[in-house]
Amino acid sequence: MPSPRTFIVNTSSEDTVKIFDGFKHRFTTLKEMVLFFEGIKNVLMEFGSLEQCFMEGYQETDKDIFHALFNFSRQLLKTSPCRNSLIPDPEKKSAFKRLNLFLRWMIRNDEVDPGGWKGVPPAKLIYPVDTHIHRLSLALGLTKKNQNDHRTAAEITDGFRKISPDDPVKYDYSLTSLSIGRPGIDNFIDQHKLLA
């Protein structure tokens, strides 16, 4: 296939099952992958591109991309009859980590993120919060929330927005790299928990 888009649009669910037979990655099953591809295919057929689908929910007056993200997730799940670990259910108050990371890649344009989508300024991005960033943010006082959901992600983003108003997620790559599996960072976090 000449491109991922061509593959997704022209490959049936049955053929996808055959091609990816035996696929499993962490929490993601073959069934979820097939439904993920079907969701993307339906978005491409209805909107023409993932970007156009996302932009349908975006308004320049919004503080951040949350409403567009909510709509984007809903569109990708429209044909999915069951839970999918790749796309969060908007009704479940997820932190949308994977989608926020994807949007960081697509909207920012620098040595780390390739960019490509032009309609949204990086200032509107929401921090891709996972367990590691959540723990670090608690230690740094960027949030006091113990539940890692979209409200926590918004609060952490607001903290980084004070440092970098035009690009609050610009430190994500370096902080994530720093916070995963580093004993020094774990010690720092644990010590600051005791002081909190």
* Statement to judge: residues 98 and 73 lie in one domain: no
* Statement to judge: residues 88 and 156 lie in one domain: no
Decide if pLDDT at 196 tops 50. no
Decide if pLDDT at 94 tops 90. no
Q: Across all residues in the chain, what is the average pLDDT?
A: 88
Helix, strand, coil in percent for the chain, rounding step 5: 60, 0, 40
Boundary (domain end) residue, out of 92, 110, 134: 92
* Statement to judge: residues 36 and 78 lie in one domain: yes
- Using one digit for the tens of pLDDT, what is the confidence trace for 35-89? 999 999 999 999 999 999 999 999 999 999 999 999 999 999 987 766 677 888 8
Cβ neighbourhood burial of 85 (10 Å; 0-12, 13-18, 19+) = middle
Q: What is the total count of domains within the chain?
A: 2
Strand-pairing partners, residue 28, are: 25
| DSSP states of 125-180 | ------HHHHHHHHHHTS----S-SHHHHHHHHHHHHHH-TT-TTTTHHHHHHHHS
* Statement to judge: residues 105 and 196 lie in one domain: yes
Backbone angles phi, psi at 96, to 5 degrees: 55, 40
Q: Is 28 helix (H, G, I), strand (E, B) or coil?
A: strand
Decide if pLDDT at 188 tops 80. no
The band of 28, judged by pLDDT with boundaries at 50, 70 and 90, is: confident
Side chain identity at 89, as an amino acid letter?
D
pTM metric for this prediction: 0.87
* Statement to judge: residues 81 and 125 lie in one domain: no
* Statement to judge: residues 46 and 102 lie in one domain: no
- Using one digit for the tens of pLDDT, what is the confidence trace for 157-186? 999 999 999 999 999 988 887 766 655 556
